[in-house]
Amino acid sequence: MDLARVPIVDNHCHPMSPAKANLPPLQLALEFYHGLGDREDPTGRASKGLVSAERLADIAELGVVHTLVARLSRLLGCEPTLEAVAAERNRRVEQEGLAAWAAALYAEAHIAATVIDSDLPDGAPALALQPGRVLRLFQMGPAIQQLLAGSASWEALVQGYCADLEHAVRVAGAVGVKSHLAEVVGLGAPPADLAEGAAHWSAAKAGDRAAWRRVYSALFGLTLLECQRLEVPVHVHTGITGGAWDGPVGDADPFLLAAWLRLPAYRASRVVLLHAGYPWIESASLMAHACPQVWVDISWVTPWVSLRAVECLRALLASAPLSRLMIGTGGHGTPEVAWLGAHMARHGLQRVLSEAVEEGLLAPAQAPRLAAMILGENAARLYGLELAEPAP
């Protein structure tokens, strides 16, 4: 079973940054880190970018960084060290430009399309760096915050939000909505309706955080309903990845979303669980098994836990319909993240599906078809894309 040329749709990725054209070795390693720094900014917050030399040395020892070095050194024809890989990578970017380097990596990995998670305006320079077909999401949080600040009433806020969402989908071509319900509210918080949102609108507008959470929750429910009508999915961040560390990050187990999805009003609302709910990956898989409106995005498993990718993919394939699993990379800043994520996805699926064939759990003809579904065809079906047949 050769999956090397099977096209991939990256269901979850962030824009590349022109500032990442030159990355010293430890900064390249930092692109594969999803945690806090050990220094504080003037406001007292610790962020990923505020990292001491000692912490950077630890980050360079992450398993995913070692996998990057092993894989990218083979492509670049250099020594398998972080220093050699970064030097050759930077040389090529300086010679060809970041856009050309990104295009070369995406072509080598056969990444055909990417769903970009960003509120950057169309035409932003960072978006021009993205190779292949680019799909956009409507950003729920920024839209609410902007409308809340200028709204004269709850009714005006709701009307403006629905209008913005419809314009994004019908006119601008957004293929879905991005929500941070887990970080803002917590997946285990009780659902709120529009009446509760109206009751908390004034306090939320005045800056009350508890009221803001109830307003967000009410508009999340409205989003689920509107997206039924607009026939697009809602992407929900699950798991403890991401940057909103001041939110209820322990309240991000996908099982907790059942409080919403079991309600009759939302049974036709298509929901994509981002990051496979890592580390609650079995929860994400079983939610797709139990709830007919759920898809699972595998980003963060690919590539962030590279040394455990096979085990994670095996757990995800265990109970979810294989027609509801999609590859994502969670890439940001640099194209190497998405490139490595694509390779880890193929590697993991090759191992898991081949072993299933060897053990008589799948027929030899089934495995390639299932791999192609997960790598790109499921996402293409969800977003209405046409994928080219893999080259012979």
**Fold for the domain defined by 109-383:** TIM Barrel (3.20.20)
What pLDDT does 46 receive? 59
Q: Write the pLDDT tens digit of every residue in 51-74.
A: 888 989 999 999 999 999 999 999
- What's the pLDDT band for 247 if we cut at 50, 70, 90? low
Mean pLDDT (the chain) is 93
Average pLDDT, stretch 281-300? Answer: 96
- Evaluate if residue 391 carries a pLDDT over 60: no
Residue that is written with structure tokens 């939320």 in the block:
204
d(CA 33, CA 29) in angstroms, rounded, equals 7
pLDDT digits (tens, 9 = 90+) for 8-40: 999 999 999 999 999 999 999 999 998 777 777
- pLDDT score of 349: 97
Domain ranges of the chain: 23-96, 109-383
The pLDDT of residue 183 is 87
In one letter, which amino acid is 220? F
**What pTM was computed for the model?**
0.94
A 10 A CB-CB count for 365 gives 8
- Tell whether the model's pLDDT for residue 48 goes beyond 70: no
pLDDT at 242: 57
